[in-house]
Amino acid sequence: MQPALIPLGVLLALAAWPALAGELPPDAAVNPAAPNKTLEPRVVVNSGRLEWAPFKRDLTAWPTLSHEDKRPTKKPRKVKLPAALKGDPQRGRDIALDPSKGYCVVCHQIPGEDWPGTVGSPLLHYAQYKYPDAAIYQQIFDARVLNPNTVMPPYGTNGILTEQEIRDLVAYLQSIE
Ligand code: HEC
């Protein structure tokens, strides 16, 4: 047994850490050359290194919550729901499940979906609360008006969803018995 070797190994690993960290871009989440695209880590096989490749998707509408990310964000926006809801519940459900649209299921439980996220409150039996359409519309359009520290994306303000798509989502939630 050579007990001294183990602490030495730990020391070496610690000494190597700043060198490894130095290879990352100053802000690993954002590519300064393409501010709307984040970077994707890729393992360089058998090298112990990561490479950073730009994501293909334009993430303008999805600013990160990183303290390093200093890009300006749009201010929270209070909205009124003008006139009748005119939403289509079936389309709303599709939007809630579509990864390129609402993808609400990544944070919320939705009936009939087996692998939901649990960051947000379950949206099961949602009709029972009898919330006004306008309140749900505001929550989806820009949840920051109701909770400035929310992690829920401001779908309307950031142009992720259209007004009609948000109406469809409200109609869907109101239809969940
Ligand atoms: C990144 C996670 C996340 C995503 C994605 C998300 N939400 Fe949320 N949502 C939350 C959290 C967290 C709350 C709790 C309140 C808050 O913090 O704003 C919430 C609250 C809500 C509420 C109010 C819940 C209540 O208790 O009455 C509704 C309605 C809602 N979300 C609908 C949606 C819809 C519809 C979508 C998709 C278009 C969606 N959310 C996408 C995280 C998310």
Q: Where in the chain is the domain with CATH 1.10.760.10?
A: 89-174
Instruction: List the CATH code of the domain at 89-174.
Output: 1.10.760.10
Please work out whether the CB of residue 106 comes within 6 Å of at least one atom of ligand 1.
yes
Whether this prediction's pTM lies above 0.85 is answered by no
Pocket probe for ligand 1: among 100, 101, 104, the residue whose CB has the most ligand atoms within 8 Å is 104
- Please report, in tens digits, the pLDDT of each residue of the chain (177 residues total): 454 555 555 544 444 444 444 444 555 555 666 666 667 788 999 998 888 777 776 777 777 666 766 777 899 999 999 889 999 999 999 999 999 899 999 999 999 999 999 999 999 999 999 999 999 999 999 999 999 889 999 999 999 999 999 999 999 999 999
Ligand 1, atom 20, lies closest to the CA of 120
Ligand 1, atom 22, lies closest to the CA of 139
Distance, in Å, from the CA atom of 53 to the CA atom of 39, rounded to the nearest integer, reads 5
The token pair that represents 116 in the structure block: 């939901």
Ligand 1, atom 23, lies closest to the CA of 139
